[in-house]
A and B are shown apart, each in its own frame.
Chain A
Amino acid sequence: MLRFALGRLLAAIPTLLFVVLLAFTLVRIAPGGPFDAERGLPPEVEANIAEAYHLDEPLPKQFFRYLGGVLRGDFGPSFRYRNYSVTEIIADSFPTSLLLGGLAMLLALVIGLGAGVLAALRPNTFTDRAVMAVAMTGISIPIFVVAPLLVLLFAVSLGWLPAGWTAQGGGRLVLPVLALALPQVAYLARISRASLLDVLGSDYVRTARAQGLTTAAILRVHALKPALIPVLSYLGPAVAAVLTGSVVVEQVFGIPGLGRHFVTGALNRDYTLVMGLVILYAALIILLNLLVDILYGVLDPRVRTQ
Protein backbone atom coordinates (compact mmCIF):
# COMPACT_ATOMS: atom_id res chain seq x y z
CA MET A 1 0.00 0.00 0.00
CA LEU A 2 2.75 2.42 1.00
CA ARG A 3 4.76 1.49 -2.09
CA PHE A 4 1.70 2.08 -4.25
CA ALA A 5 1.06 5.47 -2.65
CA LEU A 6 4.69 6.56 -2.98
CA GLY A 7 4.83 5.38 -6.58
CA ARG A 8 1.69 7.32 -7.41
CA LEU A 9 3.04 10.45 -5.73
CA LEU A 10 6.25 10.20 -7.78
CA ALA A 11 4.19 9.70 -10.94
CA ALA A 12 2.24 12.84 -10.09
CA ILE A 13 5.35 15.03 -10.22
CA PRO A 14 5.47 15.27 -14.04
CA THR A 15 1.73 16.05 -14.07
CA LEU A 16 2.22 18.83 -11.56
CA LEU A 17 5.22 20.20 -13.47
CA PHE A 18 3.24 20.15 -16.69
CA VAL A 19 0.32 21.98 -15.07
CA VAL A 20 2.71 24.62 -13.69
CA LEU A 21 4.36 25.08 -17.08
CA LEU A 22 0.99 25.32 -18.85
CA ALA A 23 -0.33 27.87 -16.37
CA PHE A 24 2.87 29.90 -16.59
CA THR A 25 2.72 29.94 -20.38
CA LEU A 26 -0.97 30.83 -20.49
CA VAL A 27 -0.75 33.66 -18.00
CA ARG A 28 2.29 35.09 -19.76
CA ILE A 29 0.96 34.99 -23.31
CA ALA A 30 -2.23 36.67 -22.12
CA PRO A 31 -2.05 40.30 -23.19
CA GLY A 32 -1.61 42.92 -20.48
CA GLY A 33 0.54 42.90 -17.38
CA PRO A 34 0.10 43.27 -13.63
CA PHE A 35 1.14 46.94 -13.60
CA ASP A 36 -1.04 48.19 -16.47
CA ALA A 37 -3.30 50.08 -14.09
CA GLU A 38 -0.50 52.53 -13.36
CA ARG A 39 -0.31 54.23 -16.70
CA GLY A 40 1.75 57.25 -17.42
CA LEU A 41 4.74 56.21 -15.35
CA PRO A 42 8.08 57.43 -16.67
CA PRO A 43 9.84 54.65 -18.59
CA GLU A 44 12.69 54.56 -16.07
CA VAL A 45 10.23 53.80 -13.26
CA GLU A 46 8.57 51.09 -15.32
CA ALA A 47 11.96 49.59 -16.03
CA ASN A 48 12.79 49.66 -12.33
CA ILE A 49 9.53 47.91 -11.43
CA ALA A 50 10.13 45.28 -14.09
CA GLU A 51 13.62 44.77 -12.78
CA ALA A 52 12.49 44.50 -9.17
CA TYR A 53 10.06 41.73 -10.11
CA HIS A 54 12.52 40.14 -12.58
CA LEU A 55 10.06 40.75 -15.41
CA ASP A 56 12.91 41.98 -17.62
CA GLU A 57 14.51 38.54 -17.77
CA PRO A 58 13.80 36.06 -20.57
CA LEU A 59 10.73 33.90 -19.84
CA PRO A 60 12.56 30.56 -19.41
CA LYS A 61 14.86 32.15 -16.83
CA GLN A 62 11.86 33.59 -15.00
CA PHE A 63 10.19 30.19 -15.05
CA PHE A 64 13.14 28.43 -13.48
CA ARG A 65 13.63 31.23 -10.97
CA TYR A 66 9.99 30.78 -9.96
CA LEU A 67 10.28 27.00 -9.82
CA GLY A 68 13.39 27.29 -7.65
CA GLY A 69 11.51 29.53 -5.26
CA VAL A 70 8.56 27.13 -5.08
CA LEU A 71 10.90 24.24 -4.24
CA ARG A 72 12.18 26.28 -1.30
CA GLY A 73 8.60 26.99 -0.25
CA ASP A 74 8.66 30.58 -1.52
CA PHE A 75 5.70 31.42 -3.77
CA GLY A 76 6.87 34.99 -4.29
CA PRO A 77 5.29 38.38 -3.61
CA SER A 78 1.84 39.16 -4.95
CA PHE A 79 2.06 41.57 -7.89
CA ARG A 80 -1.21 43.22 -6.98
CA TYR A 81 -1.52 43.24 -3.22
CA ARG A 82 1.64 45.12 -2.31
CA ASN A 83 3.45 44.01 0.82
CA TYR A 84 1.68 40.64 0.78
CA SER A 85 3.29 37.39 -0.25
CA VAL A 86 1.23 34.80 -2.10
CA THR A 87 1.66 32.48 0.87
CA GLU A 88 0.16 35.13 3.18
CA ILE A 89 -2.82 35.73 0.88
CA ILE A 90 -3.57 32.01 0.68
CA ALA A 91 -3.03 31.55 4.43
CA ASP A 92 -5.46 34.44 5.02
CA SER A 93 -8.32 33.19 2.88
CA PHE A 94 -7.95 29.42 2.57
CA PRO A 95 -9.06 28.53 6.15
CA THR A 96 -12.42 30.26 5.62
CA SER A 97 -13.02 28.36 2.38
CA LEU A 98 -11.90 25.10 3.98
CA LEU A 99 -14.34 25.56 6.85
CA LEU A 100 -17.31 26.42 4.61
CA GLY A 101 -16.47 23.82 1.98
CA GLY A 102 -15.77 21.11 4.55
CA LEU A 103 -19.07 21.68 6.35
CA ALA A 104 -20.96 21.79 3.04
CA MET A 105 -19.37 18.55 1.84
CA LEU A 106 -20.13 16.77 5.11
CA LEU A 107 -23.74 17.91 4.98
CA ALA A 108 -23.99 16.88 1.33
CA LEU A 109 -22.53 13.43 2.03
CA VAL A 110 -24.97 12.72 4.86
CA ILE A 111 -28.09 13.96 3.05
CA GLY A 112 -27.08 12.99 -0.49
CA LEU A 113 -25.97 9.44 0.27
CA GLY A 114 -28.87 8.90 2.65
CA ALA A 115 -31.41 10.02 0.06
CA GLY A 116 -29.70 8.04 -2.71
CA VAL A 117 -29.71 4.79 -0.69
CA LEU A 118 -33.31 5.35 0.37
CA ALA A 119 -34.37 5.85 -3.26
CA ALA A 120 -32.44 2.83 -4.52
CA LEU A 121 -34.06 0.55 -1.93
CA ARG A 122 -37.53 1.56 -3.10
CA PRO A 123 -37.14 2.03 -6.84
CA ASN A 124 -40.09 3.58 -8.71
CA THR A 125 -42.02 4.33 -5.53
CA PHE A 126 -43.12 7.73 -4.38
CA THR A 127 -39.98 8.08 -2.21
CA ASP A 128 -37.73 7.35 -5.17
CA ARG A 129 -39.54 9.76 -7.47
CA ALA A 130 -39.55 12.51 -4.86
CA VAL A 131 -35.83 12.15 -4.17
CA MET A 132 -34.99 12.14 -7.86
CA ALA A 133 -37.24 15.14 -8.55
CA VAL A 134 -35.54 17.13 -5.80
CA ALA A 135 -32.13 16.03 -7.06
CA MET A 136 -32.96 17.04 -10.63
CA THR A 137 -34.09 20.42 -9.33
CA GLY A 138 -30.86 20.72 -7.38
CA ILE A 139 -28.64 20.20 -10.41
CA SER A 140 -30.75 22.53 -12.54
CA ILE A 141 -30.67 25.56 -10.26
CA PRO A 142 -27.43 27.47 -10.66
CA ILE A 143 -25.68 28.37 -7.42
CA PHE A 144 -25.91 32.06 -8.29
CA VAL A 145 -29.69 31.72 -8.25
CA VAL A 146 -29.79 29.58 -5.12
CA ALA A 147 -27.64 31.92 -3.04
CA PRO A 148 -29.73 35.09 -3.61
CA LEU A 149 -32.95 33.09 -3.15
CA LEU A 150 -31.71 31.79 0.20
CA VAL A 151 -30.95 35.37 1.22
CA LEU A 152 -34.38 36.51 0.04
CA LEU A 153 -36.18 33.76 1.96
CA PHE A 154 -34.25 33.31 5.21
CA ALA A 155 -32.64 36.70 5.69
CA VAL A 156 -34.96 39.26 4.08
CA SER A 157 -38.43 37.72 4.43
CA LEU A 158 -38.15 35.56 7.53
CA GLY A 159 -35.25 37.35 9.19
CA TRP A 160 -34.00 34.12 10.78
CA LEU A 161 -30.41 34.28 9.60
CA PRO A 162 -27.88 36.96 8.77
CA ALA A 163 -27.42 37.70 5.06
CA GLY A 164 -23.75 38.56 5.16
CA TRP A 165 -20.39 37.73 6.64
CA THR A 166 -20.21 40.86 8.80
CA ALA A 167 -22.61 39.32 11.34
CA GLN A 168 -20.89 37.63 14.24
CA GLY A 169 -21.45 34.08 15.43
CA GLY A 170 -22.11 30.75 13.74
CA GLY A 171 -25.34 31.92 12.12
CA ARG A 172 -23.43 33.53 9.28
CA LEU A 173 -22.17 30.08 8.22
CA VAL A 174 -25.60 28.55 7.64
CA LEU A 175 -26.71 30.13 4.36
CA PRO A 176 -23.34 29.89 2.54
CA VAL A 177 -22.97 26.25 3.61
CA LEU A 178 -26.49 25.48 2.39
CA ALA A 179 -25.83 27.16 -0.96
CA LEU A 180 -22.59 25.23 -1.41
CA ALA A 181 -24.11 21.92 -0.31
CA LEU A 182 -27.28 21.91 -2.42
CA PRO A 183 -25.80 20.99 -5.82
CA GLN A 184 -23.54 18.42 -4.15
CA VAL A 185 -26.51 16.83 -2.40
CA ALA A 186 -28.21 16.51 -5.76
CA TYR A 187 -25.24 14.96 -7.57
CA LEU A 188 -24.44 12.58 -4.72
CA ALA A 189 -28.04 11.39 -4.44
CA ARG A 190 -28.20 10.66 -8.19
CA ILE A 191 -24.86 8.89 -8.36
CA SER A 192 -25.37 6.79 -5.22
CA ARG A 193 -28.89 5.77 -6.27
CA ALA A 194 -27.77 4.69 -9.74
CA SER A 195 -24.77 2.76 -8.52
CA LEU A 196 -26.59 1.05 -5.63
CA LEU A 197 -29.39 0.00 -8.01
CA ASP A 198 -26.74 -1.45 -10.26
CA VAL A 199 -25.14 -3.44 -7.44
CA LEU A 200 -28.51 -4.60 -6.09
CA GLY A 201 -29.28 -6.08 -9.49
CA SER A 202 -26.08 -8.11 -9.62
CA ASP A 203 -25.86 -11.89 -9.30
CA TYR A 204 -24.04 -11.99 -6.00
CA VAL A 205 -26.70 -9.87 -4.33
CA ARG A 206 -29.37 -12.21 -5.72
CA THR A 207 -27.44 -15.15 -4.29
CA ALA A 208 -27.19 -13.44 -0.91
CA ARG A 209 -30.91 -12.80 -0.98
CA ALA A 210 -31.60 -16.42 -1.92
CA GLN A 211 -29.57 -17.47 1.10
CA GLY A 212 -32.06 -15.58 3.21
CA LEU A 213 -30.05 -12.54 4.22
CA THR A 214 -32.02 -9.50 5.31
CA THR A 215 -31.82 -6.30 3.27
CA ALA A 216 -29.86 -4.62 6.07
CA ALA A 217 -27.29 -7.42 6.09
CA ILE A 218 -26.99 -7.41 2.30
CA LEU A 219 -26.40 -3.67 2.35
CA ARG A 220 -23.87 -3.84 5.13
CA VAL A 221 -21.89 -6.84 3.95
CA HIS A 222 -22.26 -6.92 0.16
CA ALA A 223 -23.83 -3.93 -1.49
CA LEU A 224 -22.77 -0.64 0.08
CA LYS A 225 -19.03 -0.94 -0.39
CA PRO A 226 -18.94 -1.58 -4.15
CA ALA A 227 -21.76 0.94 -4.65
CA LEU A 228 -19.56 3.63 -3.16
CA ILE A 229 -16.96 3.36 -5.94
CA PRO A 230 -18.64 5.66 -8.49
CA VAL A 231 -19.38 8.05 -5.63
CA LEU A 232 -15.66 8.16 -4.81
CA SER A 233 -14.73 8.86 -8.43
CA TYR A 234 -17.05 11.84 -8.34
CA LEU A 235 -15.84 13.03 -4.94
CA GLY A 236 -12.15 13.45 -5.86
CA PRO A 237 -12.49 16.52 -8.10
CA ALA A 238 -15.71 17.70 -6.40
CA VAL A 239 -14.11 17.98 -2.96
CA ALA A 240 -11.17 19.91 -4.42
CA ALA A 241 -13.56 22.34 -6.11
CA VAL A 242 -15.72 22.86 -3.02
CA LEU A 243 -12.80 23.28 -0.61
CA THR A 244 -11.11 25.95 -2.73
CA GLY A 245 -14.17 28.14 -2.43
CA SER A 246 -16.90 29.38 -4.72
CA VAL A 247 -16.50 32.87 -6.10
CA VAL A 248 -20.29 33.21 -6.45
CA VAL A 249 -21.05 32.30 -2.83
CA GLU A 250 -18.25 34.57 -1.67
CA GLN A 251 -19.60 37.44 -3.75
CA VAL A 252 -23.22 37.05 -2.65
CA PHE A 253 -22.44 36.73 1.06
CA GLY A 254 -19.37 38.96 1.14
CA ILE A 255 -17.02 36.23 2.36
CA PRO A 256 -13.24 36.82 2.26
CA GLY A 257 -12.47 33.34 0.88
CA LEU A 258 -10.10 31.82 -1.63
CA GLY A 259 -12.48 31.46 -4.58
CA ARG A 260 -12.51 35.13 -5.58
CA HIS A 261 -8.72 35.10 -6.00
CA PHE A 262 -9.03 32.61 -8.87
CA VAL A 263 -11.00 35.25 -10.77
CA THR A 264 -9.32 38.47 -9.68
CA GLY A 265 -5.86 36.94 -9.89
CA ALA A 266 -6.38 36.01 -13.52
CA LEU A 267 -8.03 39.34 -14.33
CA ASN A 268 -5.25 41.38 -12.68
CA ARG A 269 -2.51 39.19 -14.23
CA ASP A 270 -1.21 38.75 -10.70
CA TYR A 271 1.28 36.22 -12.06
CA THR A 272 2.53 34.83 -8.78
CA LEU A 273 -0.89 34.62 -7.13
CA VAL A 274 -2.32 32.77 -10.14
CA MET A 275 0.58 30.32 -10.16
CA GLY A 276 0.28 29.72 -6.42
CA LEU A 277 -3.45 28.99 -6.73
CA VAL A 278 -2.93 26.66 -9.69
CA ILE A 279 -0.29 24.71 -7.77
CA LEU A 280 -2.53 24.52 -4.70
CA TYR A 281 -5.51 23.34 -6.74
CA ALA A 282 -3.58 20.80 -8.79
CA ALA A 283 -1.85 19.39 -5.71
CA LEU A 284 -5.21 19.05 -3.99
CA ILE A 285 -6.73 17.24 -7.00
CA ILE A 286 -3.74 14.89 -7.25
CA LEU A 287 -3.80 14.07 -3.52
CA LEU A 288 -7.55 13.51 -3.47
CA ASN A 289 -7.40 11.26 -6.53
CA LEU A 290 -4.63 9.26 -4.87
CA LEU A 291 -6.78 8.90 -1.78
CA VAL A 292 -9.69 7.79 -3.97
CA ASP A 293 -7.51 5.16 -5.67
CA ILE A 294 -6.39 3.80 -2.30
CA LEU A 295 -9.99 3.65 -1.11
CA TYR A 296 -11.00 1.74 -4.27
CA GLY A 297 -8.76 -1.09 -3.09
CA VAL A 298 -10.19 -0.95 0.42
CA LEU A 299 -13.77 -1.11 -0.87
CA ASP A 300 -13.45 -3.61 -3.69
CA PRO A 301 -11.20 -6.67 -3.42
CA ARG A 302 -11.30 -7.10 -7.20
CA VAL A 303 -9.30 -3.87 -7.57
CA ARG A 304 -6.64 -5.07 -5.13
CA THR A 305 -5.80 -8.22 -7.05
CA GLN A 306 -5.22 -6.40 -10.31
Chain B
Amino acid sequence: MNTERSRGRPLPPLVRSTLAVLLAVMLVALLGPGLSPNDGVDARFDRILSPPSLDGAHYFGTDDLGRDLFVRTLEGTRMTLLVALVASVVSLVIGVLYGATAGFIGGRIDAVMMRFVDSLYAMPFIFLVILLMVVFEQNFLLIFVAIGAVNWLDMARIVRGQTLSLKEREFVAAARLIGVPTGRIILRHIAPNLLGIVLVYLTLTIPQAILFESFLSFLGLGLQEPDASLGTLVAGGVSTLETAPWVLLIPSSILFILLLAFNFLGDGLRDATDVRARRSPSS
Protein backbone atom coordinates (compact mmCIF):
# COMPACT_ATOMS: atom_id res chain seq x y z
CA MET B 1 0.00 0.00 0.00
CA ASN B 2 1.24 3.44 -0.87
CA THR B 3 -0.37 6.37 0.88
CA GLU B 4 0.44 10.02 0.39
CA ARG B 5 0.31 11.21 3.96
CA SER B 6 3.15 10.09 6.14
CA ARG B 7 1.92 8.32 9.23
CA GLY B 8 2.30 9.66 12.72
CA ARG B 9 2.39 13.34 11.80
CA PRO B 10 0.37 15.11 14.49
CA LEU B 11 -2.81 16.87 13.43
CA PRO B 12 -2.65 20.68 13.50
CA PRO B 13 -3.90 22.27 16.74
CA LEU B 14 -6.86 23.91 14.98
CA VAL B 15 -8.03 20.54 13.69
CA ARG B 16 -7.67 19.01 17.13
CA SER B 17 -9.61 21.77 18.86
CA THR B 18 -12.44 21.70 16.30
CA LEU B 19 -12.62 17.92 16.69
CA ALA B 20 -12.95 18.46 20.43
CA VAL B 21 -15.75 21.00 19.92
CA LEU B 22 -17.59 18.64 17.57
CA LEU B 23 -17.28 15.71 19.96
CA ALA B 24 -18.53 17.89 22.82
CA VAL B 25 -21.59 19.02 20.83
CA MET B 26 -22.35 15.44 19.83
CA LEU B 27 -21.98 14.19 23.36
CA VAL B 28 -24.31 16.87 24.75
CA ALA B 29 -26.81 16.23 21.95
CA LEU B 30 -26.76 12.51 22.71
CA LEU B 31 -26.87 12.62 26.51
CA GLY B 32 -28.49 16.00 27.22
CA PRO B 33 -32.15 15.15 26.60
CA GLY B 34 -31.94 12.19 28.99
CA LEU B 35 -30.57 14.36 31.78
CA SER B 36 -33.35 16.94 31.55
CA PRO B 37 -36.55 16.38 33.57
CA ASN B 38 -38.56 17.69 30.58
CA ASP B 39 -39.35 16.14 27.24
CA GLY B 40 -39.59 17.85 23.86
CA VAL B 41 -43.24 17.17 22.98
CA ASP B 42 -45.01 18.14 26.21
CA ALA B 43 -46.90 21.32 25.26
CA ARG B 44 -47.93 23.32 28.30
CA PHE B 45 -49.86 26.51 27.83
CA ASP B 46 -48.93 27.90 31.23
CA ARG B 47 -45.30 28.35 30.13
CA ILE B 48 -45.53 29.68 26.60
CA LEU B 49 -42.43 31.55 25.42
CA SER B 50 -40.82 31.72 28.82
CA PRO B 51 -37.22 32.98 28.63
CA PRO B 52 -34.25 30.75 29.49
CA SER B 53 -34.00 30.09 33.23
CA LEU B 54 -33.03 27.46 35.76
CA ASP B 55 -36.64 27.20 36.98
CA GLY B 56 -38.04 23.90 35.80
CA ALA B 57 -34.71 23.29 34.04
CA HIS B 58 -35.77 25.28 30.95
CA TYR B 59 -32.18 26.26 30.23
CA PHE B 60 -33.07 27.43 26.71
CA GLY B 61 -36.58 28.68 27.56
CA THR B 62 -39.75 27.40 25.90
CA ASP B 63 -41.31 27.86 22.48
CA ASP B 64 -44.69 29.19 21.34
CA LEU B 65 -46.41 25.94 22.36
CA GLY B 66 -44.74 25.83 25.74
CA ARG B 67 -42.39 22.99 24.83
CA ASP B 68 -39.00 22.84 26.49
CA LEU B 69 -36.43 24.24 24.05
CA PHE B 70 -33.41 22.66 25.73
CA VAL B 71 -34.61 19.14 24.93
CA ARG B 72 -36.01 20.13 21.54
CA THR B 73 -32.79 21.86 20.48
CA LEU B 74 -30.61 18.92 21.49
CA GLU B 75 -32.90 16.43 19.80
CA GLY B 76 -32.91 18.70 16.75
CA THR B 77 -29.11 18.78 16.78
CA ARG B 78 -29.03 15.00 16.88
CA MET B 79 -31.44 14.83 13.96
CA THR B 80 -29.47 17.38 11.94
CA LEU B 81 -26.23 15.47 12.49
CA LEU B 82 -27.86 12.19 11.51
CA VAL B 83 -29.30 13.72 8.34
CA ALA B 84 -25.96 15.23 7.41
CA LEU B 85 -24.09 12.01 7.99
CA VAL B 86 -26.45 9.83 5.98
CA ALA B 87 -26.64 12.37 3.14
CA SER B 88 -22.86 12.70 3.04
CA VAL B 89 -22.34 8.95 2.95
CA VAL B 90 -24.84 8.62 0.08
CA SER B 91 -23.08 11.37 -1.89
CA LEU B 92 -19.73 9.80 -1.02
CA VAL B 93 -20.69 6.38 -2.34
CA ILE B 94 -22.23 7.68 -5.57
CA GLY B 95 -19.50 10.26 -6.16
CA VAL B 96 -16.56 7.92 -5.54
CA LEU B 97 -17.96 5.08 -7.63
CA TYR B 98 -18.89 7.40 -10.47
CA GLY B 99 -15.70 9.45 -10.42
CA ALA B 100 -13.33 6.49 -10.06
CA THR B 101 -15.07 4.60 -12.87
CA ALA B 102 -14.95 7.57 -15.23
CA GLY B 103 -11.36 8.39 -14.36
CA PHE B 104 -10.03 4.85 -14.58
CA ILE B 105 -11.79 3.82 -17.78
CA GLY B 106 -11.11 7.16 -19.43
CA GLY B 107 -11.62 7.90 -23.10
CA ARG B 108 -15.07 8.17 -24.62
CA ILE B 109 -16.93 6.70 -21.64
CA ASP B 110 -15.24 9.22 -19.35
CA ALA B 111 -16.22 12.06 -21.68
CA VAL B 112 -19.87 10.99 -21.76
CA MET B 113 -20.01 10.43 -18.01
CA MET B 114 -18.56 13.84 -17.24
CA ARG B 115 -20.83 15.49 -19.79
CA PHE B 116 -23.74 14.06 -17.81
CA VAL B 117 -22.33 15.61 -14.62
CA ASP B 118 -21.98 18.95 -16.40
CA SER B 119 -25.63 18.77 -17.49
CA LEU B 120 -26.73 18.10 -13.93
CA TYR B 121 -24.82 21.19 -12.82
CA ALA B 122 -27.09 23.21 -15.11
CA MET B 123 -30.21 21.97 -13.26
CA PRO B 124 -31.57 24.05 -10.39
CA PHE B 125 -30.53 22.11 -7.31
CA ILE B 126 -33.61 22.80 -5.21
CA PHE B 127 -35.94 21.71 -7.96
CA LEU B 128 -34.17 18.34 -8.18
CA VAL B 129 -34.44 17.79 -4.43
CA ILE B 130 -38.11 18.72 -4.26
CA LEU B 131 -38.97 16.37 -7.12
CA LEU B 132 -36.93 13.54 -5.60
CA MET B 133 -38.71 14.13 -2.32
CA VAL B 134 -42.17 13.90 -3.85
CA VAL B 135 -41.17 10.85 -5.88
CA PHE B 136 -40.13 9.10 -2.67
CA GLU B 137 -43.01 10.60 -0.65
CA GLN B 138 -42.12 12.68 2.38
CA ASN B 139 -40.35 9.89 4.10
CA PHE B 140 -38.04 10.94 6.88
CA LEU B 141 -35.10 8.79 5.84
CA LEU B 142 -35.46 9.43 2.14
CA ILE B 143 -34.98 13.16 2.60
CA PHE B 144 -31.37 12.37 3.42
CA VAL B 145 -31.07 10.05 0.48
CA ALA B 146 -32.50 12.73 -1.80
CA ILE B 147 -30.05 15.34 -0.53
CA GLY B 148 -27.14 12.94 -0.97
CA ALA B 149 -28.36 11.88 -4.39
CA VAL B 150 -28.03 15.39 -5.78
CA ASN B 151 -24.93 16.37 -3.86
CA TRP B 152 -22.41 13.96 -5.37
CA LEU B 153 -21.34 16.03 -8.37
CA ASP B 154 -18.37 17.78 -6.77
CA MET B 155 -17.19 14.54 -5.21
CA ALA B 156 -17.36 12.77 -8.59
CA ARG B 157 -15.29 15.49 -10.25
CA ILE B 158 -12.64 15.51 -7.57
CA VAL B 159 -12.33 11.73 -7.43
CA ARG B 160 -12.14 11.52 -11.22
CA GLY B 161 -9.37 14.11 -11.37
CA GLN B 162 -7.42 12.32 -8.68
CA THR B 163 -7.89 8.92 -10.35
CA LEU B 164 -6.73 10.33 -13.68
CA SER B 165 -3.46 11.50 -12.19
CA LEU B 166 -3.00 8.41 -9.98
CA LYS B 167 -3.22 5.92 -12.80
CA GLU B 168 -0.26 7.58 -14.50
CA ARG B 169 1.95 7.26 -11.43
CA GLU B 170 5.01 5.03 -11.32
CA PHE B 171 3.74 2.64 -8.69
CA VAL B 172 0.65 1.91 -10.77
CA ALA B 173 2.78 1.42 -13.86
CA ALA B 174 5.06 -0.86 -11.84
CA ALA B 175 2.11 -2.90 -10.61
CA ARG B 176 0.87 -3.22 -14.18
CA LEU B 177 4.30 -4.26 -15.35
CA ILE B 178 4.57 -7.14 -12.91
CA GLY B 179 1.11 -8.27 -13.98
CA VAL B 180 -1.20 -7.24 -11.12
CA PRO B 181 -4.80 -7.52 -12.36
CA THR B 182 -6.79 -4.29 -12.88
CA GLY B 183 -9.29 -4.92 -10.09
CA ARG B 184 -6.46 -5.45 -7.64
CA ILE B 185 -4.72 -2.28 -8.82
CA ILE B 186 -7.86 -0.22 -8.16
CA LEU B 187 -8.38 -1.84 -4.78
CA ARG B 188 -4.80 -1.90 -3.49
CA HIS B 189 -3.18 1.09 -5.15
CA ILE B 190 -5.79 3.58 -6.37
CA ALA B 191 -8.40 3.35 -3.61
CA PRO B 192 -6.06 3.87 -0.63
CA ASN B 193 -4.67 6.97 -2.28
CA LEU B 194 -8.15 8.31 -2.89
CA LEU B 195 -8.97 7.88 0.78
CA GLY B 196 -7.22 11.07 1.89
CA ILE B 197 -8.91 13.42 -0.53
CA VAL B 198 -12.26 11.69 -0.09
CA LEU B 199 -12.12 12.00 3.69
CA VAL B 200 -11.15 15.65 3.46
CA TYR B 201 -13.90 16.33 1.00
CA LEU B 202 -16.39 14.40 3.12
CA THR B 203 -15.76 16.81 6.01
CA LEU B 204 -16.61 19.63 3.63
CA THR B 205 -19.73 17.84 2.35
CA ILE B 206 -21.18 17.44 5.84
CA PRO B 207 -21.70 21.20 6.43
CA GLN B 208 -23.25 21.43 2.96
CA ALA B 209 -25.68 18.68 3.84
CA ILE B 210 -26.47 20.32 7.19
CA LEU B 211 -27.15 23.60 5.41
CA PHE B 212 -29.33 21.96 2.84
CA GLU B 213 -31.39 19.98 5.32
CA SER B 214 -32.01 23.06 7.44
CA PHE B 215 -32.85 25.04 4.33
CA LEU B 216 -35.50 22.48 3.33
CA SER B 217 -36.87 22.33 6.86
CA PHE B 218 -36.95 26.12 6.94
CA LEU B 219 -39.15 26.06 3.86
CA GLY B 220 -41.39 23.50 5.53
CA LEU B 221 -40.31 20.72 3.18
CA GLY B 222 -38.10 18.75 5.53
CA LEU B 223 -39.05 17.17 8.82
CA GLN B 224 -42.63 17.48 9.99
CA GLU B 225 -43.81 18.33 13.50
CA PRO B 226 -43.36 17.17 16.20
CA ASP B 227 -39.96 15.98 14.92
CA ALA B 228 -37.42 18.75 15.03
CA SER B 229 -34.14 19.56 13.38
CA LEU B 230 -32.11 22.73 13.78
CA GLY B 231 -33.69 23.96 10.55
CA THR B 232 -37.28 23.55 11.75
CA LEU B 233 -36.35 25.17 15.07
CA VAL B 234 -34.81 28.19 13.34
CA ALA B 235 -37.87 28.47 11.09
CA GLY B 236 -40.12 28.33 14.14
CA GLY B 237 -38.05 31.01 15.84
CA VAL B 238 -38.45 33.52 13.03
CA SER B 239 -42.15 34.04 13.73
CA THR B 240 -41.54 35.04 17.36
CA LEU B 241 -38.43 37.04 16.55
CA GLU B 242 -39.58 40.28 18.13
CA THR B 243 -41.10 38.98 21.36
CA ALA B 244 -38.91 35.96 22.08
CA PRO B 245 -35.56 36.21 20.27
CA TRP B 246 -34.04 33.24 22.13
CA VAL B 247 -36.30 30.84 20.25
CA LEU B 248 -34.40 31.88 17.11
CA LEU B 249 -30.99 32.68 18.57
CA ILE B 250 -30.26 29.46 20.46
CA PRO B 251 -30.82 26.93 17.65
CA SER B 252 -29.18 29.37 15.21
CA SER B 253 -26.07 29.54 17.38
CA ILE B 254 -25.79 25.77 17.60
CA LEU B 255 -26.25 25.47 13.85
CA PHE B 256 -23.55 28.10 13.41
CA ILE B 257 -21.14 26.34 15.78
CA LEU B 258 -21.64 23.04 13.98
CA LEU B 259 -21.12 24.54 10.53
CA LEU B 260 -18.10 26.51 11.69
CA ALA B 261 -16.52 23.44 13.27
CA PHE B 262 -17.04 21.25 10.21
CA ASN B 263 -15.74 23.97 7.88
CA PHE B 264 -12.65 24.52 10.04
CA LEU B 265 -12.10 20.78 10.25
CA GLY B 266 -12.35 20.35 6.48
CA ASP B 267 -10.08 23.31 5.81
CA GLY B 268 -7.54 22.18 8.37
CA LEU B 269 -7.49 18.61 7.09
CA ARG B 270 -7.13 19.84 3.52
CA ASP B 271 -4.18 22.01 4.44
CA ALA B 272 -2.65 19.20 6.50
CA THR B 273 -2.87 16.65 3.71
CA ASP B 274 -2.09 19.33 1.13
CA VAL B 275 -4.60 18.22 -1.43
CA ARG B 276 -6.44 20.75 -3.43
CA ALA B 277 -10.06 20.60 -4.45
CA ARG B 278 -9.74 20.79 -8.18
CA ARG B 279 -12.64 22.11 -10.17
CA SER B 280 -12.38 21.70 -13.88
CA PRO B 281 -14.21 24.38 -15.87
CA SER B 282 -17.67 23.16 -16.73
CA SER B 283 -19.35 23.55 -20.07
Residues on A close to B: CB < 8 A?
A: 8, 11-12, 15-16, 18-19, 22-23, 26-27, 29-32, 136-137, 139-142, 144-145, 148-149, 151-152, 156, 230, 233-234, 236-237, 244, 247-248, 251-252, 262-263, 265-267, 274, 277-278, 281-282, 285-286, 289, 292-293, 296
Give Cα A95–Cα B137 distance, bound, in whole angstroms. Answer: 34
Closest to A281 in B: B124
Q: Is the CB of B241 within 8 A of A151?
A: yes
CB distance from B275 to the nearest CB of A (A): 13
Flag whether B260 is at the interface (Cβ < 8 A): yes
Q: Is the CB of B238 within 8 A of A31?
A: no
Residues of A within 8 A of B123 (CB): 19, 22-23, 278, 281-282
CB distance from A264 to the nearest CB of B (A): 10
Closest to B280 in A: A233
Known: A236-B282, A266-B131. 17 other contacts (CB 8 A): A8-B283, A22-B123, A23-B123, A23-B127, A136-B267, A140-B207, A142-B234, A152-B242, A230-B279, A244-B124, A247-B126, A248-B218, A251-B219, A262-B127, A263-B130, A277-B127, A286-B283
**Majority secondary structure of chain A interface residues (helix, strand, loop or mixed):** helix
Which stretch of B68-76, B92-100, B114-122, B169-177 is in the interface? B114-122
Q: Given that A142-B215, A247-B219, A248-B215 are known contacts, is A277 also in contact with B248, CB under 8 Å in the complex? A: no
Q: Is the CB of A278 within 8 A of B127?
A: yes
Closest to A190 in B: B267
Scan B76-91; emit 1 where CB is below 8 A from any A CB, else 0.
Answer: 0000000000000000
Residues of B within 8 A of A285 (CB): 121-122
Flag whether B235 is at the interface (Cβ < 8 A): yes
CB distance from A175 to the nearest CB of B (A): 14
Q: Is the CB of A145 within 8 A of B255?
A: yes
Closest to A156 in B: B242
Residues of B within 8 A of A286 (CB): 122, 283
Flag whether B158 is at the interface (Cβ < 8 A): no
Closest to A17 in B: B119
Per a CB cutoff under 8 Å, which of A18, A32, A136, A145 touches B134?
Answer: A32
Give Cα A23–Cα B255 distance, bound, in whole angstroms. Answer: 33
Flag whether B263 is at the interface (Cβ < 8 A): yes
Residues of A within 8 A of B135 (CB): 26, 29-31
Q: Is the CB of B241 within 8 A of A26?
A: no
CB distance from A272 to the nearest CB of B (A): 14
Flag whether B211 is at the interface (Cβ < 8 A): yes
Scan B247-283; emit 1 where CB is below 8 A from any A CB, else 0.
Answer: 0100010011001100110010000000000010111
Looking at B122, B131, B238, the one whose CB has the most chain A CB atoms below 10 A away is: B122
Closest to B248 in A: A148
24 A-B pairs with CB atoms under 8 Å apart are: A15-B283, A22-B119, A26-B135, A31-B134, A31-B137, A136-B260, A136-B263, A136-B264, A139-B263, A140-B263, A148-B237, A148-B238, A151-B241, A233-B279, A262-B127, A263-B219, A263-B221, A266-B127, A267-B134, A281-B123, A282-B123, A289-B282, A289-B283, A292-B281
Q: Is the CB of B118 within 8 A of A15?
A: yes
